[in-house]
Amino acid sequence: MPQRTHLAALIAIFLMVDIACTKEPPPVSTTAPSDRVAASPVGTTQMVLQKTFNLKVSATFPFEIPAHAAQPHLHGIFESFEGQVHGASDDSANINFLVLSEEQQTDSASNRASEALFSVEDSHNQAVNFDLPPSLNHPAKYYLVFRNPGGSKDSKVVEANFRVDF
């Protein structure tokens, strides 16, 4: 009988130790990701492009909008010249300009037809003011695309200055 008492006591001790060592699982969050507070880019400015470059066929410049940007606004100006900076800036220097989302850029790079968020055709001097879609919980990637409709035989030089206000 003493062995049974010891065995019963030993089993009781193991059960108490097992219960004491069992950890509670962490509580499951019921907060939606969109309800979480995060830093807001409101009131800030991001330089997107400030450059003079040669344009033979096309040039693409990516930029990213941070998460929680409710009203990102792209604005800037570009001017193109025939052959050299501050050369002829008339119809002979015309280029095409597009603003593409990441999906549109992927389609364009794969030679699939796609629309642009914003486009300007056959211009050599253009001011751009465009509201981008809100970025919500995730950053959003966009692309400024400059295209030379004449191809490499009519090389152009482009001065561009773009920024995004939040």
Tell me the C-alpha distance between 46 and 105, whole Å: 21
DSSP state of 158: E
Q: What is the pLDDT of residue 111?
A: 79
Burial of residue 23 (CB within 10 Å: 0-12, 13-18, 19+) is exposed
Backbone angles phi, psi at 18, to 5 degrees: -60, -45
Domains and CATH numbers, the chain: 45-165 (2.60.120)
Q: What is the pLDDT along the chain (166 residues), one digit of tens a residue?
A: 566 666 666 666 666 666 666 666 666 656 555 555 455 566 688 999 999 999 999 999 999 999 989 899 999 999 999 988 887 788 999 999 999 999 999 988 877 878 999 999 999 999 999 999 999 889 999 999 999 997 778 889 999 999 999 8
pTM of the model: 0.73
Q: What is the pLDDT of residue 90?
A: 87
Residue with tokens 């050599």: 124
Q: What is the pLDDT of residue 86?
A: 83
